[in-house]
């Protein structure tokens, strides 16, 4: 059995694709990788919020799935839009890496310093304004290596990135600070790789992929986070955040919320429950009742 894997072409995306291929191969399955360029890869002169939040990094891969050119698409889970087309589903989530955002620089510094930080994330920009208002922010697009090169040539002093990508690309030596997830809570899905497929994918093939790649505990947490994201209709351009973790008795805690674009309003909800989907929708409902609806409306008017 051969599994055809679709992926973006950046070094990090290819790391993820080869990681999945290795898991499949270890389970006795054959695999081949196909590189697909997405809208988010092509348009680098505009911020993600100006391109649009739906399918910026996934649409072209989904087209290949629909045309049966590939069997699965491999994504950073945080890049997958809140609501999938009815034809698709996420069938596996790999074991999660540390979820923290990290400050990366070739200089010794921290967010307490008067520095310029590069990021393309609306969430990170809003959180920097909320918790580190003295920091200057510049938009920074491109793959990880491109952004690091821009930083080293002086476009900014530091970058704000997900630990998982920095670690996988072996840039740990540039990490100057790990941000506390209770305050600087990551994007939904940060730190794990998601596998997307057509719902009509051959049942035996689908089950083989799940058994080889899916981490059940990560999946439970991601189901809660994505349930929240779907309920608030969040995306790349909306600064919502969410992180779920589980306890030994499978009780789940979801810490999620939203921050206004100017950073002046941060609404955070933390709730415990044992049903991941219901946990996500309950947190979303609480958020909407606690002025979250008004913040979302303001953000959408601005963007």
Task: Exactly one of 8, 23, 96, 124 is catalytic; name it.
Answer: 124
Task: Exactly one of 71, 79, 157, 282 is catalytic; name it.
Answer: 79
4 catalytic per annotation: no
223 catalytic per annotation: no
249 catalytic per annotation: no
Pair of tokens at residue 272:
């415990």
Give me the DSSP letters along the chain.
Answer: -EEEEEE-SSHHHHHHHHHHHHHHHHTT-EEEEEE---HHHH--SS-HHHH-SSSTTTHHHHHHHHTTS-SEEEEEGGGS-SS--TTEEEEEEPPPPP--EEEE-SSS--TTSS-EEEE--HHHHHHHHHH-TTSEEEE--S-HHHHHHHHHTTS-SEEEEEHHHHHHTT-GGGEEEEPPTTTS---TTTT-EEEEEETTS-HHHHHHHHHHH--HHHHHHHHHHHHHHHHHT--TTS-EEEEEEE-TTS-EEEEEEEE-TTSS-EEEEEEEES-HHHHHHHHHHHHIIIIIHHHHHHHHHH-
Task: Exactly one of 156, 213, 236, 244 is catalytic; name it.
Answer: 236
Closest CA relative to residue 222, chosen from 245, 205, 201, 249: 245
Alpha-carbon Rg for the chain, nearest whole angstrom, is 19
Pair of tokens at residue 81:
């839009």
Task: Exactly one of 129, 147, 168, 226 is catalytic; name it.
Answer: 147
66 catalytic per annotation: no
268 catalytic per annotation: no
The rounded distance, in Å, linking the Cα atoms of 216 and 89 is: 16
Task: Exactly one of 78, 129, 206, 226 is catalytic; name it.
Answer: 78
Task: Exactly one of 8, 123, 168, 226 is catalytic; name it.
Answer: 123
96 catalytic per annotation: no
236 catalytic per annotation: yes
- Contacts of residue 104, defined as CB under 8 A and 6 or more positions apart, other chains included, come to 148, 151, 158, 159, 160, 161, 166, 171, 174, 175, 176
Active-site residue set: 78-79, 123-124, 141, 147, 236
């Amino acid at each position: 059995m051969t599994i055809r894997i679709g992926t973006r072409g950046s070094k990090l995306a290819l790391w993820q694709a080869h990681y999945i291929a290795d898991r499949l191969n270890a389970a006795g399955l054959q695999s081949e990788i196909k590189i697909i360029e997405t809208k988010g890869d092509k348009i680098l002169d505009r911020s993600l919020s100006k391109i649009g939040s739906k399918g910026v990094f996934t649409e072209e891969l989904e087209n290949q799935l629909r045309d049966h050119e590939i069997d699965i698409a491999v994504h950073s889970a945080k890049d997958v839009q809140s609501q999938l087309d009815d034809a698709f589903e996420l069938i596996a989530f790999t074991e999660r890496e540390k979820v923290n955002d990290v400050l990366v620089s070739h200089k010794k510094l921290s967010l307490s310093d008067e520095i310029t930080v590069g990021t393309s994330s609306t969430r990170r920009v809003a959180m920097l304004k909320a918790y580190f208002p003295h920091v200057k922010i510049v938009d920074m697009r491109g793959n990880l290596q491109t952004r690091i090169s821009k930083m080293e040539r002086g476009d900014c002093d530091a970058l704000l990135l997900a630990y998982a990508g920095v670690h996988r690309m072996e840039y740990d030596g540039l990490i100057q600070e790990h941000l506390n997830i209770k305050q600087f809570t990551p994007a939904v899905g940060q730190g794990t790789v998601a596998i997307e497929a057509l719902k009509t994918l051959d049942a035996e093939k689908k089950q083989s992929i799940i058994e080889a790649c899916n981490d059940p505990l990560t999946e439970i947490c991601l189901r809660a986070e994505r349930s929240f994201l779907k309920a608030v209709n969040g995306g790349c351009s909306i600064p919502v955040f969410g992180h779920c973790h589980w306890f030994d008795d499978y009780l789940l805690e979801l810490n999620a919320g939203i921050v206004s674009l100017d950073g002046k309003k941060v609404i955070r909800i933390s709730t415990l429950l044992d049903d991941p989907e219901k946990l996500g929708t309950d947190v979303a409902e609480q958020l909407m009742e606690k002025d979250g609806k008004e913040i979302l409306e303001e953000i959408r008017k601005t963007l």
